[in-house]
Amino acid sequence: MISAPVRANPAAARPNVIFILADDLGYGDLGCYGQKRVRTPNIDKLAAEGMRFRQAYAGSTVCAPSRCCLMTGLHTGHATVRGNKKPEVGLRSGEETVASMLGKAGYHTALYGKWGLGGPGTGSVPNTRGFDRFYGYLDQQHAHNYYPEHLWDNQNEVFLTDNWFDQRKVYAPDLFTKHSLDLLKNPPARPFFLYLTYTIPHADNELGRLKGNGMEVPDASAYAGEAWPEQERNFAAMVTRMDRDVGTILDTLKQTGQEEETLVFLSSDNGPHREGGHDPEFFASSGPLRGIKRDLYEGGVRVPFIARWPGQIAAGHVNDDVIAFWDVLPTLAEITGAAATPGLDGMSFAAALRGARLPAHKPLYWEFHERGFAQAVRMGDWKGVSLDPARDMELYDLKSDPGEKQNVAAHHAGVVREIRDVLASCRTDSSDFPVKR
C-alpha cells in the first residue's frame, strides 16, 4: 500500500534517531507480523503509528556480520566482518560507521547493549568507531550471559557485584533500558543517535548446555498459566519484557516532548534461533518463511523492520519495498544531511519513509562461512541460494513462493546464469574469511 507523502516538518529536518535492535527475533515473533501467542502490544502500536516493512533484510544470518552491514553500509561481500569468529574480528581503523558519520554531522552518539564488532584488545570498540557513549557488552560470548559479573562503561570495566557468586539480581537488558531513559530525560543540546541493542531473545548457550534452558528472564509469570515447556514460557516472557521496555521508551519520548523530532527504528539482527532449548517452530517464529538463524533462506535473513516518525511517516503504512541493513547508513545520511563515504553497497530508502515508491534495489548479496561457503542473491523477485560452489544453485520466485518451497532452477537457466554472474562480481576476497571450497 502506498500513501501520499505527509506534510513536511522543518523542525524535524535533523531528527534524533533511535535504532532498537533485537537479537535473534524472528520475522514471525511480533504481533504485527502475525504472532498469535507472544504478546507485543507496544511494538505493535509502534508499527500502527508508523511503517512496517514486509521485505526488509538483515545483513547476515548471524549477528556480527549483520551488525557490521548495519553500521558500515556494506554487504557481506565487501564488509570487514563476515562471520562470527573467535577471536573476534573488528572493524578497520578509520572505517566509517553510522555513528562516526553522524558524529561528524554534529550528533551525540550512544550505544547501550551489545556491540559485537570487536572485543577487548582489538582496538575496535564503540568509542573508537564513532560512539561518544557506550555501556554494555563488547563481544559475542560475553553477551550470552544475561546476569554478567561485569560490563563495559566506555572503555572501563564496571563490576556488577550483585551478580557475583552466582547471584542473579541485575538483568543486563534492564540496564540498557535505564541508560537509554537517562539519555531521553536529559538529552544533549544537539540531536542524538541512540543505538539500543538488546540481547533478547538470544539464548545463553552455555547455560542451555548445562541445564537445558538458556532462555533467561527474571519473571515469566505473564505466561505462568500456559501449559508450555519452561523454555518457551521464558522465551515469550523475554520478548514481552523487551516490548514493555520499548513502550517505556516511546512513552518517555512523548512525555519529554521529543516524539515528533525522533525517528525510531526497530528490527532484528537475523532470524530466530534454535538454541538454549528453544524450538523456533513452537511459536512459528519464522512466520511463513523457510529457515532460521544460520540459513540463507528467507527465514534466516528476512526480519521485522519498523519505522516511526510522527509528522513524517504516515501511520499504518505497510511497505513492500525491498530494503536491507546496508541501506540504513545512506538513508540516515540523506535524512540528516550527513556526508556518507562513497562506494557503499546500500541505497537510501528515505523517500519510502515519506510514502514514495523506491526504484528497484540493486541485487542483495549475502555470504556465510560457518558451514563451508554459502551465498545468496535476491535480484528482483528471484532468490538464488548456493549452499556449496560445487552444487547446483537453487532458485525461487519470491513473488509467488515466499516460503521457498519450489526450486525452479531447472526451468530458468538464464536467470541462474545471471545470478551466478552476480555471485562472482559481488564480493572481494577477505583474508579473515577465506573461501572454503
On the question of pLDDT at 371 being above 90, the answer is no
Q: Into how many domains does the chain fold? A: 2
CA dist 58 and 66 (Å) reads 6
- Coil, strand or helix: which one is 153? strand
Together in a domain, 375 and 348: no
Same domain, 129 and 217: yes
The C-alpha cell at 50 is 508508523
Report the range of poorest mean pLDDT among 224-228, 314-318, 388-392: 388-392
Q: What is the pLDDT of residues 252-279, one digit of tens each?
A: 999 999 999 999 999 999 999 999 999 9
Q: Examine the domain organization and report whether 291 and 320 are in the same domain.
A: yes
245 and 277 share a domain? Answer: yes
Same-domain pairing of 78 and 147? yes
Longest Cα separation, the chain:
62
Residue 434 lies in a domain: no
- The pLDDT, as a whole number, for residue 4 is 29
Same domain, 319 and 371: no
Report pLDDT for 13.
Answer: 74
Q: Could you identify the residue written with the cell 503509528?
A: 49
**Is pLDDT of 306 > 50?**
yes
SS3 content of the chain, % helix, strand, coil (to 5): 30, 15, 50
Contact 108, 190 (CB under 8 A): yes
| pTM of the predicted structure, to 2 decimals | 0.96
171 pLDDT above the threshold of 80:
yes
- What pLDDT band is residue 87 in, cutting at 50, 70 and 90? confident
- Supply the pLDDT for residue 11: 41
Tell me the sheet residues that pair with 382. Answer: 379, 397
* CA distances, 167 to each of 147, 203, 343 (Å): 8, 19, 49
Within-domain flag for 437: no
- Inform me whether the pLDDT recorded for 27 exceeds 90: yes
Q: Over range 211-223, report the average pLDDT.
A: 95
- How high is the pLDDT of residue 437? 65
Query: What φ, ψ does residue 344 adopt, rounded to 5°?
Result: -80, 160
Q: In whole angstroms, what is the distance from residue 297 CA to residue 75 CA? A: 16
Contact by Cβ (8 Å): 269, 21: yes
Residue after which a domain boundary falls, among 353, 383, 417: 353
pLDDT at 210 (0 to 100): 83
307-346 pLDDT, tens digit each: 999 999 999 999 999 999 999 999 999 999 999 999 999 9
**Three-class SS state of 121:** coil
Q: What is the CATH number of the domain that holds 382?
A: 3.30.1120.10
Q: Does 57 lie in the same domain as 199?
A: yes
Phi-psi region of 364 (alpha: psi -120 to 50; beta: other; left: phi over 0): beta
Rounded to whole angstroms, how far apart are CA atoms 394 and 410? 9
Above 60 in pLDDT, residue 156? yes
If asked whether residues 260 and 159 sit together in one domain, one would say yes
Host domain of residue 188: 12-353
Mean pLDDT of 21-45: 98
290 within a domain of the structure (yes/no) = yes
Classify 395 as helix, strand or coil.
strand
